[in-house]
Structure 1
């Protein structure tokens, strides 16, 4: 029997296989049976396109092959020929086949449409659909693009911890990690939980960021990036929030805010370009779906972002633009308030009609580690805004002065003891350094056009949902 050939290989170089006998293996999408022949549509997950197979009634195992239900796994050997039908360059004339795994009539993925909500309930099977096959091949491509982008620029990949004893963002929305018996917790003399009896001897949580650890390594290796899972216990059920998600966080020594703003713009452009070159069929399919957040011109929007110069303005300039535009916004545009999505989309979609990098935010809007400007009111922070969704990347120049960092932590009533190692970075050869964070799922949503973050991660973790 011929060795297996992946559909991706067949469709990439079809001329190599014309009139050759090959074996393909995958899952049945549909079977149309008649007395003399049957049409079998098979997909193996490696390509957006499926293979149409013509099985004549005289071939071995015809009855079994022609009676397969959707979802059956099968191996079919046949000859590749030029297709006479529309929408496909090649097809297979079956010679023989073998059913590998049968399904019964309860298989929930049929040819008729299925809602995204229902597919989340059967997330163990949704990778077999055209839609989610496309999403996760794009996700893979964007992960490869990330590693290539940073590696080519001399960054080192850092696997930052998942368990931590400090709150990297200061927001307090963290999952505790403990081996203590919840039904019989040890207590101190003050009646508080005695974490000295716990596994790590202290109160620890799942990380919300790998940034602080990345700063340590950037101040030794020069430039690093993290790419791993992060966790936030924010009780939110919106389309843009997950309790477990993936973050990419580069950190660069001897770099200021302008340096990492340019890096962020280049990274976004690189990801879009990589996806367009490596997942063109997937993007065309996804952008045509009626339930995404985009229309069929989204590909043009992405191309425009890829080819655009990113405008740069300060937060104060952004507030002035918003207050002068005459638009009625739901949220206040008073100086000192956070920019909301509606404000960001106005700047990108209506005012500039291009991506925008907003810098120098009020210090009260941002985290403790951001470098204070000379005005004492703003910090060297940035948000990268893109048409259609608003913020995609957030970053800053970090405060390299020990005195100023400790003062800011005191202002925010932060307990400094647990950050002793982070503070020591400012004592031992401190340098200007900067970085940013990109929520990987947000980027996938933007490039694919998917409207719900639950649909761009394999098994979403949200409040009340941890089934898989």
Structure 2
């Protein structure tokens, strides 16, 4: 029986398969001189060259072979004379699975020519077949796998937090409402919508975070993490924001803020270190792709620099002082203590001043969520943000407020409905301990590692304001 192999395995093992008859399947990337087929099955950025012999295949079959067609080929592995590949497959038999609609093909991104990223987004169902997007998706897969691997190796338990919620864990911002009510016949009681007639008998939303639920698990299991989709309804139509995105949120009992920062730095370096080892072919392809935009830019050097850097740690107040003293810098947003740092401020600190990743901690309480631990000055909370070059904040976290009275007061002061958080307050009534955690935007991490300018290009089907296609 002839064995079937992935193209990646054949190319990785190379000459081990010489003179062996094998079976491969994939999509045709190019077809030259009615003899040479470049075949790709998605397992690697590289293509396998198929050599057709006119003795084995008549003109009728050859005419049906077009770019984009899916085929099965049985043939013998031979050493390649060409410089671009070490082996090639001399075809003995070929079956065409799916032919290509020639008229639609002319309007598709499958044509072997350059296409803008915007055009790729408009055909998101086909862009998996491009070299650029297939590279990004393979890297995205490996990053996701490494996230689970890191936490498993470090004693964390994976928790599935709910996607539907009745509270906003951040205490602010817009959320997507979930309802089964007939919008043409909404029930009212005393002038207000009667949500007791709704599916969950109360007002519910898509979750913006699994943190609060993760905290309850951490206060029993010690160290846990969530990894799943979250949703925010803000009209943030930028290159760094999505309406539906994926978050990683570890929570650690008995961990203070400094320990939390240590885990965040170690976690990011772990991911980047292994991605450089596992995905060098795809990273090298992306590196060359990025150089077409900017000859002085190097994706590989940027990632290697992160590994060699010790993340600078400064307080929010120190950061404001640096920004206030910055010379020859005209910020669009004025620098004032108590303001939320803007992207221009973050990039100045990371790129211009320190030239290194930066962790800023002890933010003003007025700009942070209710669950963050209040400092003795009663003006700042034990929050921390990790800032990276190009994308700014990549991690946001804090030591959580474990003291019941202070947490309850914070909930009231930030106008959060504490009646919906009784279960959360219970965790402070029964054996509360110091604990901390952080949130990492998975898609933003993929964006940084792949070097893509727009976050829409690192997720299979982006959901953004006014866009929910495919």
Per the normalisation by structure 2, the TM-score is: 0.96
Distance between the aligned counterparts of 1:315 and 1:172, measured in 2? 23
Work out whether residues 33 and 66 of structure 1, in 8 Å CA contact, stay in contact via their aligned partners in 2: no
Distance between the aligned counterparts of 1:372 and 1:452, measured in 2? 36
Which residue of 402, 405, 410 maps to 2:404?
402
Q: Alpha-carbon deviation of 1:293?
A: 8.1
User: Which position in structure 2 is the counterpart of 1:355?
Assistant: 357
User: Which position in structure 2 is the counterpart of 1:163?
Assistant: 164
Work out whether residues 150 and 267 of structure 2, in 8 Å CA contact, stay in contact via their aligned partners in 1: yes
- Matched position secondary structure for 2:161: coil
Greater Cα offset, 289-298 or 438-447: 289-298
Work out whether residues 15 and 87 of structure 2, in 8 Å CA contact, stay in contact via their aligned partners in 1: no
User: Which position in structure 2 is the counterpart of 1:390?
Assistant: 392
Report how many aligned residue pairs link the two structures. 464
User: Which position in structure 1 is the counterpart of 2:176?
Assistant: 175
Distance between the aligned counterparts of 2:464 and 2:458, measured in 1? 13
Work out whether residues 244 and 462 of structure 2, in 8 Å CA contact, stay in contact via their aligned partners in 1: yes
Structure 2, unpaired ranges of 5+? none
User: Which position in structure 1 is the counterpart of 2:97?
Assistant: 100
Distance between the aligned counterparts of 1:212 and 1:339, measured in 2? 25
- 2:41 counterpart of 1:44: yes
Which residue of 82, 85, 89 maps to 2:82?
85
Distance between the aligned counterparts of 2:389 and 2:115, measured in 1? 30
Distance between the aligned counterparts of 1:137 and 1:49, measured in 2? 13
- Matched position secondary structure for 1:426: helix
Greater Cα offset, 345-354 or 286-295: 286-295
Distance between the aligned counterparts of 1:66 and 1:163, measured in 2? 53
Q: Alpha-carbon deviation of 1:63?
A: 4.0
User: Which position in structure 2 is the counterpart of 1:443?
Assistant: 445
Distance between the aligned counterparts of 1:244 and 1:61, measured in 2? 51
Work out whether residues 310 and 355 of structure 1, in 8 Å CA contact, stay in contact via their aligned partners in 2: yes
Greater Cα offset, 210-219 or 349-358: 349-358
User: Which position in structure 2 is the counterpart of 1:234?
Assistant: 234
Structure 1 residues 95 and 340: CA distance shift in structure 2, 3 A: same
Mapping 1:33-432, distance limit 5 Å: 33-34=33-34, 38-60=35-57, 63-65=60-62, 67-105=64-102, 106-107=104-105, 108=108, 109-189=110-190, 191-290=191-290, 296-326=297-327, 327-432=329-434
Distance between the aligned counterparts of 1:460 and 1:187, measured in 2? 36
- 2:436 counterpart of 1:434: yes
Distance between the aligned counterparts of 1:119 and 1:312, measured in 2? 40
Greater Cα offset, 144-153 or 456-465: 456-465
Q: Cα RMSD between the aligned structures?
A: 1.4
Structure 1 residues 286 and 231: CA distance shift in structure 2, 3 A: same
Distance between the aligned counterparts of 1:118 and 1:387, measured in 2? 27
User: Which position in structure 2 is the counterpart of 1:25?
Assistant: 25
String of CA shifts for 1:18-55, please: whole Å, max 9, x gaps.
22111110001111124xxx110110000010111111
Work out whether residues 69 and 104 of structure 1, in 8 Å CA contact, stay in contact via their aligned partners in 2: no
Work out whether residues 56 and 62 of structure 1, in 8 Å CA contact, stay in contact via their aligned partners in 2: no
- Matched position secondary structure for 2:415: coil
Structure 1, unpaired ranges of 5+? none
Work out whether residues 29 and 42 of structure 1, in 8 Å CA contact, stay in contact via their aligned partners in 2: yes
Per the normalisation by structure 1, the TM-score is: 0.97
Q: Alpha-carbon deviation of 1:137?
A: 0.2
Q: Alpha-carbon deviation of 1:116?
A: 1.3
Greater Cα offset, 62-71 or 99-108: 62-71
Distance between the aligned counterparts of 1:294 and 1:211, measured in 2? 41
String of CA shifts for 1:90-131, please: whole Å, max 9, x gaps.
211111111011111112110011111111111111101101
Distance between the aligned counterparts of 2:416 and 2:297, measured in 1? 48
Work out whether residues 31 and 66 of structure 1, in 8 Å CA contact, stay in contact via their aligned partners in 2: no
Work out whether residues 64 and 99 of structure 2, in 8 Å CA contact, stay in contact via their aligned partners in 1: no
Distance between the aligned counterparts of 1:56 and 1:416, measured in 2? 75
